[in-house]
Amino acid sequence: TGRFDPAVADVRWQARWDEQQCFAADTSSAKPKTYVLEMFPYPSGRIHMGHVRNYTMGDVLARYRRMQGREVLHPMGWDAFGMPAENAAMERGVHPGEWTRQNIATMRAQLKRLGFALDWSRELATCEPDYYGHEQALFLDLFDAGLVYRKESEVNWDPVDCTVLANEQVIDGRGWRSGAPVERRRLSQWFLKITDFAEDLLQGLGELENWPDKVKLMQENWIGKSRGLQFRFRLAEAIEGTDQVEVFTTRPDTIFGASFVAIAPTHPIAEALAARDPKVAEFIADCRRGGTSAAEIETAEKKGFDTGLKAVHPLDPDWRLPVYIANFVLMEYGTGAIFGVPGHDQRDYEFATKYKLPIKRVVAASAEEAGQPIVGEAEPMDGIAVNSSFLNGLTTEQATAEVIRRAETGGWGKGTTTYRLRDWGVSRQRYWGTPIPIIHCESCGAVPVPRDQLPVVLPEDVAFDQPGNPLDRHEGWRKVSCPSCGGTALRETDTLDTFVDSSWYFIRFASEPEDRPYDRSEVEQWLPVDQYIGGVEHAILHLLYARFWTRALNRIGRLGMSEPFKGLFTQGMVTHETYRAGDGSWLSPDEVKRDGDDWIHIESGKAVTPGRVEKMSKSKRNTIDPEPIVARYGADAVRWFMLSDSPPERDLEWSEGGIEGASRFVQRVWRLASTDQAAEGVDEALSRKVHRTVAAVGEALEGLQFNKAVAQLYELTSAIEKSKPSKTRSEAIRTLVKLTGPAAPHLAEEAWVALGEQGMVVDAAWPAFDPSMLVDDQVTLAVQINGKLRDTLNAPRGLDRAAAEALALGSEKVQRQLGGNAPRKVIVVPDRLVNIVA
């Protein structure tokens, strides 16, 4: 008795679970298997509330499945490569490996303190050779299968720091450190052929029933399948032996709205023109400035160069269109050339406005609106073709089909299916990543590192005193002999995109032999992951890459499935109020206090304006560090609060009141368990309540509606508190403890002992319920007088005729209606109706 002391209980039970290896997943177990996975964290330094919420949800599910008698795999690891470690190295002179490993140690201890039911024996960190060495082997498998290739591609180049920048290091077109305008440079880089799987990745979405629709839609849009037309414009006069420009459009129906043709600055025709005209060369060089991200290109000012060439319209030989070189046309997409329709494409509209080209309406909401001018901006719409010769009156879809048909029969074009999805560029010109296991030889070209020489380990002795990739400067590491001819050769110094690391970690968790990436049959015991839980920020890239990687392994015969994640859940964020001082600077929650209805800055005593409730973030300083909270309230209260206040897919606002409430609940359950007394007697109503709660909590957990489960448990707790001692009550307390186990496991174990029970709650079976007890024990009786409804009354189920009649006649409304007269006859339909004939 007394209060529940989490400081003691948390440590005790964490040690006990550890000793008994409760959460070690046994692949050879005969029990049905469940794989619960949360997205593994980046070891940034400390655990934040978002992690706590994410891992608590996964933990509740894992523990619930375990109590249901399943063998559960619930692992944890570290997505440990990436830029922040290199930034720390540059800023503070600490080696990225040391920084990362220290962070992992801190965060591991913080996770352990929360009592998560994790199989720590399977812990992995992607920055260790015993992980990335296997990744190198898989990369070479894909290389052998022709799914990896090298090609020139553009990167962001910082001309002052002389280094390649990741897209996120380009801020408003400038290098994040140097502040210099970023240029585009062409470099040879490695690519994975994800486009080979575009259609399959799209089709596969259809089978993912337990994925949020919004995520599937985002993936669909990213893959971006569209029907289009590829066709040739004849050039009125040839240039360097070329007399045509091939363009690609997804809107063939707008062909009569064309007012120019535009080619990419790196298009062969542009390059041919540049060779003889320095003005063209200068324009092309100018286009190179600015970042490579789609957003950057999209928002950059539209610029063009009129080549003087003329293109002949395919449906009207007398119609000539000017040919421009334009900065917004990308060589990597379609054919690197377009026809511009200013009326219906915003980029073309801006371009036409600038260069005074015609802007014509060719699509309208109805044929009557053909004469409406296009004003202010383009109208990118579907509708009816207008001002378009033989297409007039056709819908967008019909007009598209008609133009494709004419192009194909006329032999000047071909209908196509295209995908927006690009091949995955995996080269990063950085140190802290998986070395790409390739050796470049002057005579043999790119040679894979022989398998028996894997892993290619990152050298430790590197310096970050200069910008760029230290691997490029590490002669001792770079210079090797060619595995094929024995001559001097150089290692590839690019490392893999960290998304490669996270594309297969869930496979390695399921099986981790030392000598190969995984054992197929072991993996197939566990995968696909039954429930994957993480942030919606990974809805596109990470999930798409993991789906691709799984398919690629499937294609090369190394895995018998194509979807890695059967169920996906994306949880909401943890938010908090923001506070601002008079000068506009952000204040942290510890720096302010409430003063009546206002807030004041503790140090200066000045008033503070509370701002909006926003996602906890360092920049707004509205974070709450979980560690001191756990130290103060215990793991269970924190876990309980993470589940309580909001549906899991919505944002959860951190509040002092919320954590206090959770902590009080923990004490209430403890009080029930610690003061339980043996008593006789059955409490029918409480018994029904227990059965109903078991059913409802199970249903809520199946649907990951944790807040509903919590609400049910609050109700049951209140009902038990109100009940008198009985055998039912004692049983109800035991059931409550088991139901609370997944969310508040330390409390549950401690309570179990207090109740004098044997074993541990983690090993206990999830309570069953009796379906017949779910039926409501109250019914609603309709009371009629001469067939007219006069009253409805609550009555216990199974009331006999005489009692039902007495109840009905006792009703005030009935008595008023009868006006003192005795009824002539009373008809009773048990549990439903009493009809009084007056």
> Please, what is the angle between helix 213-223 and helix 541-555, to 10°?
70
Q: Applying CB under 6 A, does 249 fall inside the site for ligand ANZ?
A: yes
Is 543 in contact with 219 (CB distance < 8 Å)?
yes
Nearer to ligand ANZ, 416 or 730 (CB): 416
Structure tokens at 543: 């999930």
Burial of 4 (0-12, 13-18, 19+ CB in 10 A): buried
Q: Identify the CA nearest to 704 among candidates 75, 61, 55, 67.
A: 61
Instruction: Report the partner that residue 248 touches, choosing among ligand ANZ, Zn ion, none (CB closer than 5 to 8 A by kind).
Output: ligand ANZ
Instruction: For residue 22, give every residue at least 6 positions away whose Cβ sits within 8 Å of its Cβ, in sequence order, or none.
Output: 117, 760, 762, 763
Instruction: Report the partner that residue 482 touches, choosing among ligand ANZ, Zn ion, none (CB closer than 5 to 8 A by kind).
Output: Zn ion
For 792-837, the DSSP string reads EEEEETT--HHHHHHHHHT-HHHHHHHTTPPPSEEEEETTTEEEEE
Nearer to ligand ANZ, 226 or 417 (CB): 226
d(CA 255, CA 173): 34
Beta strand ranges found along 630-670 (DSSP E): 652-653
DSSP state of 464: -
Instruction: Report the partner that residue 249 touches, choosing among Zn ion, ligand ANZ, none (CB closer than 5 to 8 A by kind).
Output: ligand ANZ
Pick one of 107, 194, 208, 341: the residue that binds ligand ANZ (CB under 6 A): 341
Instruction: Report the partner that residue 441 touches, choosing among Zn ion, ligand ANZ, none (CB closer than 5 to 8 A by kind).
Output: Zn ion
Half-sphere exposure of 653 (CA within 13 A, CB side): 9
Nearer to Zn ion, 76 or 441 (CB): 441
Of the candidate spans 54-62, 151-159, 325-333, 724-732, the one that interacts with ligand ANZ by CB under 6 A turns out to be 325-333
Indicate the pairing of strand 33-38 with strand 71-73: parallel
Beta strand ranges found along 572-671 (DSSP E): 574-580, 586-587, 592-595, 598-601, 607-615, 652-653
Distance of closest approach, residue 401 Cβ to ligand ANZ, in angstroms: 16
Please give the residues from 370 up to 389 whose contact with ligand ANZ meets the rule CB under 6 A.
380
Distance of closest approach, residue 244 Cβ to ligand ANZ, in angstroms: 16
What is the identity of the amino acid at 778? Q
Please give the residues from 690 up to 729 whose contact with ligand ANZ meets the rule CB under 6 A.
none
Binding mask 217-236 for ligand ANZ (x = CB under 6 A): ---------x----------
Of the candidate spans 46-54, 197-205, 246-254, 760-768, the one that interacts with ligand ANZ by CB under 6 A turns out to be 246-254
Instruction: Report the partner that residue 226 touches, choosing among ligand ANZ, Zn ion, none (CB closer than 5 to 8 A by kind).
Output: ligand ANZ
Of the candidate spans 183-191, 245-253, 593-601, 788-796, the one that interacts with ligand ANZ by CB under 6 A turns out to be 245-253
Distance of closest approach, residue 330 Cβ to ligand ANZ, in angstroms: 4
Distance of closest approach, residue 490 Cβ to Zn ion, in angstroms: 11
Is 618 labelled a binding residue?
A: yes
Instruction: Report the partner that residue 485 touches, choosing among ligand ANZ, Zn ion, none (CB closer than 5 to 8 A by kind).
Output: Zn ion
Burial of 279 (0-12, 13-18, 19+ CB in 10 A): exposed
Beta strand ranges found along 341-454 (DSSP E): 363-364, 384-385, 413-419, 424-425, 427-428, 438-441, 445-448
Q: Applying CB under 6 A, does 23 fall inside the site for ligand ANZ?
A: no
Pick one of 227, 288, 420, 422: the residue that binds ligand ANZ (CB under 6 A): 420
Is 66 in contact with 72 (CB distance < 8 Å)?
yes
Q: Identify the CA nearest to 58 among candidates 114, 6, 14.
A: 114
Is 770 in contact with 691 (CB distance < 8 Å)?
yes
Nearer to ligand ANZ, 386 or 836 (CB): 386
Q: Applying CB under 6 A, does 330 fall inside the site for ligand ANZ?
A: yes
Kindly list the residues in this chain that would bind Zn ion in the complex (CB under 5 A): 441, 443-444, 482, 484-485, 487
Q: Which residues participate in the annotated binding site?
A: 618
Q: Which residues participate in the annotated binding site for ATP?
A: 618
Enumerate binding residues for ligand ANZ (CB under 6 A).
226, 248-251, 254, 328-330, 333-334, 336, 338-339, 341, 344-345, 380, 420
